[in-house]
Amino acid sequence: QLSERLLMIAQNIPVGKRVADIGSDHALLPSYLILNEISPFVIAGEVNEGPYQAAKRQIESLGLEDKVSVRKGNGLQVIEPNEVQVVTIAGMGGSLISQILEQGKEKIDQLERFILQPNVGVDQVRRWLDQHNWDLIAEEILEEGEKIYEIIVAEKRRGMEDPVYRSEKWSKDELYRLGPILVKKQSEVLIKKWMIELTKVEYILEQIKNSKNEQEKSIKEMQLNHEQKWLKGVI
Ligand code: SAM
C-alpha cells in the first residue's frame, strides 16, 4: 500500500521511537509505522483542513486513535515538549521544509533524528541542517513513477563539523547540491538526475540562441555554459 518513497522513509526510522510526521496528508506513513510496530506513537501534523480531515478519517477507519494523534497546526507547532524523538517531513519543497525547521527551532533540541524528503531545492535543506549543527548520516535516491526523489537523514551534531562535507574535489556549496553521501555512491539514479539537469540546460541554451536581447542573451549564455561545464564534471 505504501509507495516506495514512503517505505524508504519508514526504513530510516529506528524501531521504538516516537515520531511526528509533518504534512502527513492521508496519514499513510503514521498508519504504516503503527501497523508494522515500528513506532509506539505517531503525531500526524497537518496545516490544511482537507488533508487534516483525510488523516483523521484514515486513522479512525483503522481504529488507531490511541496511537496516532492527528493534529492541526503549522509545522512543528503540533509537537509538545519531549513528545517525539524523530520528525519526518516529506513531499514538500526544500524552502518550505527549511522554513518549517527554522520556525520550529525551539522544538528541535529535544529531537534525535530528521528524515526529510524535499521534492525540489534539496540543497536548501542540506544547508539549513549543516548551519544548525545537524549531521547527515544517510542519503537515499530513488526513482518512482517517472520522478526522482532524495531522502535525507540527519542527526544532531556530535563533533565540530560534519565529516561528510570533507572533500578535496567539491566545495560545500557544490556538496549541498550534490549530496555528499550520494555523490560518493554515484548510483545510476543519481547520474540520471544530473543527466536530466544537463539536458534541460542544453535545451535552454539552444532556445536562447533565438533571443533578440543581445545583452541579456550573452549573460544567460555565460551562466548556462558555466552550469553545463559543471554538470558534465558531475556526470
Ligand atoms: N507527507 C506526505 C507524502 O510525502 O506523501 C504528503 C505530502 S503532501 C504533497 C504535502 C502536505 O503538506 C500537504 O497535505 C500540505 O497540506 C502539508 N503542509 C504544507 N505546509 C505545511 C506546514 N507548514 N505544516 C504542516 N503541513 C503542511
DSSP string, 156-223: E--SSS-GGG--SS--HHHHHHH-HHHHHH--HHHHHHHHHHHHHHHHHHHHHTT-S-HHHHHHHHHH
pLDDT digits (tens, 9 = 90+) for 121-169: 999 999 999 999 999 999 999 999 999 999 999 999 988 999 999 999 9
Mutate to test the pocket of ligand 1, among 7, 33, 79, 92 (most ligand atoms within 8 A of CB): 92
pLDDT band of 75, cuts 50, 70, 90: very high
pLDDT band of 68, cuts 50, 70, 90: very high
ipTM for the whole complex? 0.99
Instruction: Please compute Rg for the chain using Cα positions.
Output: 20
- Measured in Å, residue 159 CA sits from the centre of ligand 1 at 32
pLDDT at 216: 82
Residue 210 has pLDDT above 90, yes or no: no
pTM assigned to the model? 0.96
Q: Which of 146, 139, 83, 147 is nearest to 116 (CA)?
A: 139
Q: Ligand 1 pocket: which residues have CB below 6 Å?
A: 6, 22-25, 45-48, 51, 74-75, 90-92, 96, 100
Percentage of residues in the chain having pLDDT higher than 70: 100
Distance CA 56, CA 54 (A): 5
- Cβ atoms < 10 Å from Cβ of 137: 15
- Measured in Å, residue 51 CA sits from the centre of ligand 1 at 8
State CA 7 to chain mean position distance. Answer: 14
Q: Which of 78, 92, 83 is nearest to 25 (CA)?
A: 92
